[in-house]
């Protein structure tokens, strides 16, 4: 557990949305933590590997991060207008993936499943478009 990882977690603990590495870095500097951008990138990498942090790719292509609600395997339902995210457990999907993978002779399989749509708030708030 490195200093940079602790600092990144401290920032993510305060924020409930997704933050990009650069935003995390700016907030760290604002707090007075002197951590390099490189270390922020390295920290989020290992936090993601440790399943402590979730990644989400914005439509602009940058990776954004937030603290996981749970450390077990789960998937995301993401609103493509406002970015609101719901964590979803999918035991049935996990079982299906495991069996179909084995049926085809594959080993060491991993999977990613992401669902994007428009959430109820954005559906009713009509005319709202992505601005950024």
Q: Does 104 bind its own copies (CB under 8 A)?
A: yes
Q: Does 3 bind DNA (CB under 7 A)?
A: yes
Binding mask 36-65 for DNA (x = CB under 7 A): xxxx-xxx-x---------------xxx--
Pairwise CA distance, residues 70 & 32, whole Å: 29
Q: Which neighbouring-strand residues pair with 85?
A: 78
SS3 for 10-65, per residue? HHHHHCCCCEEHHHHHHHHHHHCCCCCHHHHHHHHHHHHHCCCEEEEECCCCCEEE
Q: Does 119 bind its own copies (CB under 8 A)?
A: yes
Q: Does 47 bind its own copies (CB under 8 A)?
A: no
Q: Residue 50's binding partner, choosing from its own copies, DNA, none, with beta-carbon cut-off 5 to 8 A by kind?
A: none
Q: Which residues bind its own copies (CB under 8 A)?
A: 55, 57, 59, 61-63, 77, 79, 86, 88, 90, 92-93, 96-97, 100-101, 104-120, 123
């Amino acid at each position: 557990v490195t200093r940079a990882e602790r600092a990144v977690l401290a920032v993510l603990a305060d924020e409930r949305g997704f933050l990009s590495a650069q935003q995390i870095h700016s907030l760290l500097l604002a707090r007075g933590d002197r951590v390099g951008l490189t270390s922020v990138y390295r920290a989020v990498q290992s936090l993601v590997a440790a399943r402590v942090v979730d990644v989400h790719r914005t439509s602009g292509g940058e990776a954004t991060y937030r603290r996981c609600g749970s450390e077990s395997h789960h998937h995301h339902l993401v609103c493509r207008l406002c970015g609101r995210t719901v964590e979803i457990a999918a035991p049935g999907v996990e079982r299906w993936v495991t069996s179909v993978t084995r049926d085809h002779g594959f080993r060491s399989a991993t999977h990613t499943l992401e669902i994007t749509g428009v959430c109820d708030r954005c559906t009713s708030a009509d005319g709202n478009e992505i601005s950024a």
